[in-house]
Structures are given as structure tokens and as C-alpha cells.
Structure 1
Amino acid sequence: MPITDQLLDQLLADCKSPEDLMGEQGLLRQLTKKLAERALEAEMEHHLGYAKHDPAGKKSGNSRNGKTSKTVRSVHGEIELEVPRDRNSTFEPRLVKKSEKQLGGFDERIISLYARGMSTRDIQAHFEEAYDVEVSPTFISQVTNAVLDEVKIWQQRPLNTVYPIVYLDCLVVRSRDSGAIQNKAVYLALGVNSDGEKELLGLWLSQNEGAKFWLSVMNELKNRGVNDIFIACCDGLKGFPEAIEAVYPKTQVQLCIVHQVRHSLRFVGWKERKEVAADLRTIYGAATLQQAEQALDEFAATWDGKHPGISQSWRNNWSRLSVFFDYPPEIRKVIYTTNAIESLNASLRKVTKTRRSFPNDEAVLKLLYLALHQIAKKWTMPLRDWKPAMNQFIIMYGDRVSL
């Protein structure tokens, strides 16, 4: 039913100040109470099968039996509701279940605040200051813990059969394990499907990475339906190339060029950094693999005297740094860097930076899952220039493309 201006004028006629609207006895709280109680009466009528005072209720086997007062939490503060009862005690209201003490929308508000990085104590203070509602940290934890079942279902959900590109990266959090607070790495896999849309495939916690860990991750993706990945982009994750080649032998691994450049500049003084960076750009900015290898030789001739480790590092990783030269410019733009997943990690770090540590690994997964769903709401468009890139994939991997 549309809310007309005339109805709003009637409701706001006696509201002369913000207190009249938002206060303890304000319009919003009164309106919430009246609507909730009217809805409960409608539920009772549906349950009994006849309206109040309707003669059809006589000798029906059940009837109304007064009301019970119940104080519930809402986003407008605490409200005392009159909940109808039936004589047979079979009425189970859906609006506010017997075991619940909050109206719909209250839990969602808690989860939304938690997903934005607020701690349980911060949320408690927020509700007390903003809504004059006392909420215990235990209750907030109970509300957010309900998300853990969703996390398990989400982590096990079926995936697409083909992902042209998968980015992998990690962020570090501090979590309590066996009584001690330890650094834990959270690994994330961000897939790009055939439509160019980003999709987080999963997240995993581990203290140690290696071929065995990555093999378990790749097998999990395989079991969830991923039959093929064209290119996997990562930042030198230990043991990952071996694991992905074992499960997806046709997949090429592209190491992140941006990370390689950052690593190369770590021990270069500020005065030379700009010049070294420009010379490195001639390597990864080359048009062909042959030109890139020539540029690497020229870089070594210029800088090996002062920084011999740079060219050596590039040569050691060259087989995986140079993969993107096998592809046309349309695809190179989206695979030579892991910026897509790094921007995701940057958003997650904003959420986790307020937490010195987490009480357990489940708390880590809970917060990151909620935060990821907030972030994913912004993924409304495919990657830039995706259509020409996908056309190139179709030409190169026609027998492997699933449209």
C-alpha cells in the first residue's frame, strides 16, 4: 500500500521537534508498536480461522485467551508489545517468535555494523547511544555466530566449470589458537567468470603455505565443479605453481609484475629508484618476449654492478613472469598484475585493522565473510575491456571455453 502525503501529514501533525519523532515516546516507536501488535493480531486471526468477536469462533475448539506483555528490541529502541495468546497454547507468532526478544531488522543492523569492522563492544555502545537499547556482547556474538552456518554453505557451494582467470593472494591476521595469539594467513581466490564478473571462490586459513596446502585448495575447487582455469595470477605463493599444475595441468601461472617491481626496488636508494623503475618498465612494457629478454639483458648490464640481485631475481622467475607475453594486449591488461584481488584485500584490511586479534579462527571467517558480502555488492560491472579479452580467449582456447 502506498504511503500518501496526506497520511504523512496526519502522522506528523503533532511532531514539533526531533524528540517527538525519534524520542522514547516518539512517533516512530509508537508506530512500530501499533503496527507490530496489529500484525500479531492478524497472525492470531489466521491461526484461529476467524476474526475477533466472530460468531464462527464459538465451539471451534480454540479461542483467544488474553495477551502477554513482552519487551522487544528494535532499531527505534525497546518496545513493549501485547502478544495475543490462544487457549490451546498452539499460537506461534512469526513476527516475534516465543524465544526471540527483537523485531525483524534488529539482527540485520547488528550484522551490518559487525561487517563494517565494529567490535561487539563498539556495537553495544552504538545501540545504547543511538537507540537507548541495552544489548549484551554475548547477545551480539550469538547473532553474528548464526552466520557461521552460512559460511560453511558458501564455502561448499558449487562453482562454474571454467574460470578464465583466477587471482590468489593473502592477508595476515592475528588469531588465538591453543591459548596463544598467532599470525594466521587468510588466502583468497578471486575468480573472473566468462562474463568478466568477479566472484570470490573461497577463503582459507593456514599458518603455513606450501605445495600440500595449495594442493588441498585446488582439489577443493575441483570437487566444487571447477574443471579448468586458463591463467592463475599470484604473488609468488610458495608451492602454488606445483599444486595447480598437478590439478590443472593446462593452467598457466603468471606472477604479479607489480609485486616483482616492488621487490626489486626494496633495496634501491631513493635517488636511484626512479631511474631503476623506468628501466624495469622497459622489460615488462616490451611488445614481445624477445624484446623483453633483450631489455632484461640491457638492465643487467646497466645495474648489476650496483644491484646484482635485481636481474637475478627476474631471471629466476622469468618463466612465470613472462607468461603474459604469450597473450595479446587485451588479455595482458588483466593478468600482469593482481590489482583486482589487492583492492579487495585493501578493503578487508580496513575492516580488520580495528581488531588487534581475534578470539579464534571462526571469528576471522565470520567477519571476513560478512565484509566480503558488503564489498561484493559493488561488483556490478564486468572487468574493463573484458569483451575483447574474452574474444581472444575464445580464439585461443575454443575447445576449453564454456559459454
Structure 2
Amino acid sequence: MNGVSTRKYKEIIPEMADTVGVSKSQISREFVAASEAEFKRLCERRFDDANILVIYIDGIQFGDCHVIAALGVDSDGQKHVLGIREGSSENSRVTTDLLNDLVERGIKADRLRLFVIDGSKALRCAIDSVFGHKNPVQRCRIHKVRNVLSYLAKDQQQPVQASMKAAFSLDAKKGQQKLQKLVEWLDREYPSAAASLREGLTEMFTINRLGLPLELHRCLGSTNVIESPNSGIRRWTCRVKRWRDHSMVVRWVAASLLEMENKFRRIMGYQHLWILETKLNELAEKSGIAKDEQVA
């Protein structure tokens, strides 16, 4: 229509771009401004009216920059990006700051919630410090299986993995007994694998101990719910060849998470979340937390 051959469009587009102010540097400035706005929006979001039952926390790494993210699930099974912080989940100050920020923005500490985390000791301590030690914590089973298998000979990995998965499907008492026997067996030839399995063993069965239906175990037994968005972030940022600084990483993570949030689906088994809410309320009553403090 404008006398430009389709064979020559690659040559003419750069010239056109310069005439309308869409140079590479201009696009870069526009994206910096847009991503800063998204990060600000994420940091200022409030959750006073959200009935958050579950909080997942996990980390993602870009080069030498670590970012931890918190994702919440409400009573309808909807996922909410709660917040992010630059730093490692092994850093107690970073994890505590992240959780304190959630409290300030409406995720109050006056009720019980289920936390799903990896094996970070700093994060576990931060939960106790900010939200109280009575909140149930579920350790990610997938992380645990990977850690244990990493210490084993290849021919031992499949049977150990099968034993662990079988134990997770049992009630808490029987499941822990089964894994304790596995620990004793591993101690003979694979002491590092045994130590890994022994660490945090009780919290591997938190959802079993709460008596939650199997339909919820897949989503509540691991941090996959938040690892999936983390994979999405890597797809969004795969073309970035060089991270200029850590603030760039944080801005990209914030913008990516908020964009993906629009496409989040409800968690599997969300129809049974009322059972989790009931169990949390019962646990709160037994723990001496006032019932009127359970209102979201």
C-alpha cells in the first residue's frame, strides 16, 4: 500500500521507528518506568478484605541476585501475589521484613494460616517470629525428595522415592513411622541422605495431621503453586542477556508476576478449602486464639 516491498520491510522498519520516537533507548526508558510503576503497585496492594488461608513462600535466582516471593490462596482458591523481597530465603532479616510487610498490608497475624515453604530455617523462624509458632507449616515434599535422592546412588533413587511417596499418602502417624524406618535403613550406607530425610520430618505431614482430603494434598504438599509462576518469570525474562543491577531484577519479577496473576487459575481441590478453614479455626480455638480474631 505504501510502496514498500515485503522483502524490504526489515530495512524500512528501523528508519520508521526512529521517526516516531521508538528507538531502542526510548523503549528501554518506557519499560523501566512501567516496571517501576508495577513494582510500586505490588508494594502498595492491600489485602484487608482477602480471606487468605494459605501462604506459599519460595525463592528464585537471577545470576547473583536472589528474590523471594509470597503467594496467597484465599478461601475460594484464587491466587494472589502478596509481595516480593530482594534477598535469599536463608537470610533471616530479608524473610522477616517480607512477612512484616505482609502484616502491614492487611495479612494480619491475629489468625492462623497454613504456610507452605521449602527447607529454609531462616524462613521457618521468621514465620514463628511474625505470625506466631501456632501456625501450621507444611514443608515442600518435592524439595525434600530431591534433596534425599541427591545423596543416593542411582540404583537406589527410584525405590527410595517410591517409599517416600507411599508414606505421604498415609495418615500422619503411620507415614512418619514408615519414613523413620527408611531413615534407619539409609543410616547404614547413606548417612547424608538419612540426615536430610530426618530433618523437618514432622512438618512433612502437616496436611495429613490436619486431616485434609487427598484432593488438596497435591497443591498443599509442595511449593509448586509458586514455582510455576517462577518458571513463567524465566520465560518472560529469557531474552535478557545482562542484568544491569538488582533493582532491574526486582522490577522485572514484579511486572512478570502481576501480568501472570491475571491468568492464574484456582488451585486444584479448591472446593475442599472450607475444610482447611474449619481445621484452622478449630486449631485456633485449641490454641487459645480468640474466635473474633479469626475474621478475615
Q: Quick one: which of 230, 255, 258 aligns to 1:373?
A: 258
* Larger strand percent: 1
Query: Partner residue of 2:84?
Result: 203
Unaligned 5+ residue runs, structure 1? 1-19, 27-76, 78-124, 175-182
Deviation at 1:305, TM superposition (A): 2.1
Contact 1:283 1:292 in 2 (8 A): yes
In structure 2, distance between residues paired with 1:156 and 1:236:
29
Query: Partner residue of 1:316?
Result: 199
Query: Partner residue of 2:176?
Result: 293
Deviation at 1:222, TM superposition (A): 0.7
C-alpha spacing 1:208/1:265, structure 2 compared with 1 (3 Å): closer
In structure 2, distance between residues paired with 1:170 and 1:128:
40
Deviation at 1:307, TM superposition (A): 1.5
Q: Which of the pair has the greater relative contact order for Cα pairs under 8 Å at 6+ separation?
A: 2
SS at match of 1:133: helix
Residues 230-259 of structure 1 show CA distances to partners (whole Å, capped at 9, x for unaligned) of 111111124111111111113222110110
Alpha-carbon RMSD = 2.7
In structure 2, distance between residues paired with 1:142 and 1:165:
37
Deviation at 1:229, TM superposition (A): 5.0
Query: Partner residue of 2:286?
Result: none
Query: Pairwise mapping of residues 76-115 of structure 1 onto structure 2 (< 5 A)?
Result: none
In structure 2, distance between residues paired with 1:349 and 1:168:
17
Residues 134-193 of structure 1 show CA distances to partners (whole Å, capped at 9, x for unaligned) of 33222112211222134213212212454211111111113xxxxxxxx01011101101
Q: Quick one: which of 156, 162, 170 aligns to 2:44?
A: 156
Deviation at 1:369, TM superposition (A): 2.5
Give the partner amino acid of 2:71. Answer: L
Unaligned 5+ residue runs, structure 2? 283-290
In structure 2, distance between residues paired with 1:225 and 1:127:
52
Query: Partner residue of 2:222?
Result: 337
Give the partner amino acid of 2:30. Answer: V
Residues 38-73 of structure 1 show CA distances to partners (whole Å, capped at 9, x for unaligned) of xxxxxxxxxxxxxxxxxxxxxxxxxxxxxxxxxxxx
Query: Partner residue of 1:265?
Result: 149
Query: Partner residue of 2:240?
Result: 355
C-alpha spacing 1:241/1:391, structure 2 compared with 1 (3 Å): same
In structure 2, distance between residues paired with 1:149 and 1:255:
34
Give the partner amino acid of 1:367. Answer: W
C-alpha spacing 1:225/1:127, structure 2 compared with 1 (3 Å): farther
Length-normalised TM-score, structure 1: 0.62
In structure 1, distance between residues paired with 2:183 and 2:201:
14
C-alpha spacing 1:320/1:127, structure 2 compared with 1 (3 Å): farther
Contact 1:166 1:229 in 2 (8 A): no
Q: Quick one: which of 172, 176, 201 aligns to 2:61?
A: 172
Deviation at 1:24, TM superposition (A): 6.0
C-alpha spacing 1:397/1:208, structure 2 compared with 1 (3 Å): closer
Query: Partner residue of 1:346?
Result: 231
Deviation at 1:25, TM superposition (A): 7.8
Give the partner amino acid of 1:153. Answer: R
In structure 2, distance between residues paired with 1:158 and 1:312:
41
User: Which has the higher Rg, Structure 1 or Structure 2?
Assistant: 1
Contact 1:165 1:229 in 2 (8 A): no
Contact 1:253 1:320 in 2 (8 A): yes
Q: Quick one: which of 107, 110, 116 aligns to 1:233?
A: 116
C-alpha spacing 1:256/1:264, structure 2 compared with 1 (3 Å): same
Residues 294-337 of structure 1 show CA distances to partners (whole Å, capped at 9, x for unaligned) of 21233134333222222322222123222222122244333111
Q: Quick one: which of 81, 94, 112 aligns to 1:213?
A: 94
Q: Aligned pair count?
A: 274
* Larger helix percent: 2
SS at match of 1:305: helix
Deviation at 1:346, TM superposition (A): 0.9
Query: Pairwise mapping of residues 43-62 of structure 1 onto structure 2 (< 5 A)?
Result: none
In structure 1, distance between residues paired with 2:150 and 2:11:
43
In structure 2, distance between residues paired with 1:304 and 1:154:
46
Deviation at 1:289, TM superposition (A): 1.8
C-alpha spacing 1:293/1:254, structure 2 compared with 1 (3 Å): same
In structure 2, distance between residues paired with 1:207 and 1:290:
33
Deviation at 1:126, TM superposition (A): 11
SS at match of 1:186: strand
Give the partner amino acid of 1:136. Answer: S
Structure 1's consecutive aligned runs of 4 or more residues displaced over 6 angstroms after TM superposition are none
